[in-house]
Amino acid sequence: MFQSSPVPTVPGWLPLRALVVVVVVGLSLVAVRRLSGERLTDPLRNRLLLGVPWGTLLTIGGVLLVYFVLQGAWDNARPLVTPFRTWSYFYPLGILTGPFTHGSQGHVTGNVVGTLVYGTVVEYVWSHYPTERGTQTFTSLRTNPYARVLAVPVASVVVGVFTGLFSLGPVVGFSGVVFAMAGFALLVRPYLFLGALVANRVVDLVLTALRFPEPTVRGRTRFVTPWWSDVAIQGHAIGILAGIVLAATLLWLRDQRPDPKRVFGVTLVFAVFQGLWAVYIPLGNARFTLFRWLGTALVFLLAAVIAAATVDTDDHFILLPRFEAGWIGWAGVVLLVVLATLSLGAVPGNLTTIDSGDVPEDGIEIRDYVVAYEEDVLNQYAANIPTPIETEQTRVNESGIVVASADREIWIAEVPKGQLATDGRASVAVGGVGWRETVFANRTTWNVVGNRSVYVVQLWRRGEDPRTSYRSPPSTADTTIAGRNVTVRPAGASFELAVTRDNETLATGPIPANASARDIGGITFRHNRSRLYAEVDDTRVRIATVRTPPGQRRE
């Protein structure tokens, strides 16, 4: 008689699925090396110390240090973001930190992958060893490989500060520098850059497989804004143009020129791939207008101008006008003018100031911050942008959880009304260098049959009791029972019912607790789980349905 052996179990601490990804990727690279007969790093060793892009890795290390230490992501599920946005020139901390901070783990991961891929191309082109024929290493600071390693991190800081100074609005993220690296690479090595563009997706796939090897997901209702509304198009544009200016300078110094056709094709692919065509304006209350027609025309025009600027004209600097070359001779000047226009156009927005009178009066105060729930209020950040004339674009209304600070020039609807209505709860972190506090929010909603919802929003700090921040107007159900109408309205932190007939209030009373009933104005109201019914004799109609935040009891 044969006895089956017990099936070995895998320890719970062993990341088996992630290991499968690592092993298979590693074996695939080994197989490619065997097929090609050389190590994959051999081409890198000719230009990089030990074949490693040390400057790119130093840059990535600095970005991660900011994310985990300055933003506190090491000890918290979410990083602190609000105080590190590029709010105003009158708040230098945000201007200097905004280009190096991130809004989430996915945000920083995407920029780190982009830095790794495009930064490696930039560093390879720059080279740790001098490229001039006959030049010896270690003969000066310029030829010292260890000093040349610092070129990428130093340039990244300079470009980052530049994008912080001239980005439009309170942005956050290293993507301006990543786009500068991409702009540099696509002009100097178009085909190598195209390979890096594809490699970016491959690396992103591998990292995602390691982070989420086997997720189980299900359909659920979510509040989602268009993907392009979260992209700082202007910041990306000045980043890529700054990278092109740096690349043009290097090409001139090395007396090199790329093929214009290659530059045009690769630039167009990159612009479409990265959504540079998504030109939009915010209208307030999570509404945006996308000018897709304009963006499509602009990406083709951008690719054509960049390609024209690379046309070979002896040793002439390609960004200076060349009168003998016709319109092509002005392509480089056009790039500089566009870069200057986009950059200087952001200056008025960065001169925004928030006065104490612009801060919500009734909210939770945390040092210099005020956190409140507001509806249909003027966006004070947009309204205070200095403009010669008042425009509709600067007078937009917002609804949601507002975070404001007159000391830091901050005013933002951190959680839109629609998001809080969908999720039922939210949290907002405020703070500064070395400190943070969190404000929590709940929204309890009664969806009234045939009419608008009635809801109450509560805010509180950890360790404190919730306080009611907002009560919506009452709402009358679009149904009658025994000639009477029923109105649901907020009452303190809870809700009550008003029974009326011919516009005369017969009685009012609180909504009965779950699994109970109450008589109000000759009608029996029965609360059964999430639904509220009205009963008279043998007639029963549904009045409303309650939505409570996850984990909150239905009273």
Q: In this structure, what DSSP letter does residue 324 have?
A: G
pLDDT in tens, 322-344: 655 555 667 778 888 888 988 99
Q: How confident is the model at residue 549 (pLDDT cuts 50, 70, 90)?
A: confident
Q: What is the dihedral of CA 426, 431, 437, 439, to 10 degrees?
A: -30
Query: Given a cut of 90, is residue 533 above it in pLDDT?
Result: yes
Buried/exposed code over 222-244 (b: 16+ C-beta within 10 A; e: otherwise)? eeeeeebeebbbbbbbbbbbbbb
pLDDT of residue 119: 93
∠ at Cα 232 (231, 233), nearest 5°?
95
- Give the span between the Cα atoms of 222 and 382, in whole angstroms: 27
pLDDT of residue 402: 96
One-letter amino acid for residue 513 of the chain: A
Phi, then psi, of 385 in degrees rounded to 5: -70, 125
pLDDT of residue 2: 47
pLDDT of residue 326: 56
pLDDT of residue 477: 94
Q: How confident is the model at residue 81 (pLDDT cuts 50, 70, 90)?
A: very high
Q: Which residue has the higher pLDDT, 70 or 144?
A: 70
* Number of other CB atoms surrounding residue 537 within 10 Å: 8
DSSP 401-418: EEEEETTTTEEEEEEEHH
Query: Given a cut of 70, is residue 144 above it in pLDDT?
Result: yes
Calculate the CA 265 to chain-centre distance. Answer: 28
Query: Given a cut of 80, is residue 528 above it in pLDDT?
Result: yes
* Number of other CB atoms surrounding residue 185 within 10 Å: 27
pLDDT in tens, 270-281: 888 888 888 888
CB 479 within 8 A of CB 541: yes
- Owner of token pair 């695939």: 28
The crossing angle, in degrees rounded to 10, of helices 54-65 and 105-126 is 160
pLDDT of residue 323: 54
One-letter amino acid for residue 70 of the chain: L
pLDDT of residue 233: 84
Query: Given a cut of 70, is residue 103 above it in pLDDT?
Result: yes
Report the residue count for the chain: 555
Helices and strands (H, E) in the chain, number of each type: 16, 18
Domains defined for the chain, CATH in brackets: 24-214+227-350 (1.20.1540.10), 356-423 (no CATH), 445-547 (no CATH)
Strand order in the sheet with 410-416: 364-366, 369-378, 397-405, 410-416
Query: Given a cut of 50, is residue 488 above it in pLDDT?
Result: yes
Q: In this structure, what DSSP letter does residue 291 have?
A: -
* Least confident piece of the model among 23-27, 37-41, 190-194, 295-299: 37-41
pLDDT of residue 552: 58
Query: Given a cut of 60, is residue 368 above it in pLDDT?
Result: yes
Tell me the HSE value of 554 on the side-chain side, using a 13 A CA sphere.
Answer: 19
When the pLDDT of each residue in the chain is averaged and rounded to a whole number, the result is 85
Q: How confident is the model at residue 505 (pLDDT cuts 50, 70, 90)?
A: very high
Query: Given a cut of 90, is residue 65 above it in pLDDT?
Result: yes
pLDDT of residue 163: 94
pLDDT of residue 493: 84
- Give the span between the Cα atoms of 70 and 308, in whole angstroms: 43
Query: Given a cut of 90, is residue 162 above it in pLDDT?
Result: yes
Helix (H, G, I), strand (E, B) or coil at 299: helix
- Give the span between the Cα atoms of 230 and 102, in whole angstroms: 12
pLDDT of residue 39: 67
Q: Which residue has the higher pLDDT, 231 or 542?
A: 542
- Give the span between the Cα atoms of 44 and 54, in whole angstroms: 12
The residues, any chain, with a CB within 8 Å of residue 42's CB and separated by 6 or more, are: 51
pLDDT of residue 555: 46
CB 508 within 8 A of CB 496: yes
pLDDT of residue 370: 95
Q: Closest Cα to residue 315, out of 243, 258, 245, 256?
A: 256
Q: Which residue has the higher pLDDT, 219 or 206?
A: 206
pLDDT of residue 328: 64
CB 279 within 8 A of CB 298: yes
pLDDT of residue 75: 87
- Give the span between the Cα atoms of 209 and 21, in whole angstroms: 7
pLDDT in tens, 454-483: 999 999 998 899 999 999 999 999 988 989
| Range with the largest mean pLDDT of 32-46, 216-230, 376-390, 476-490 | 476-490
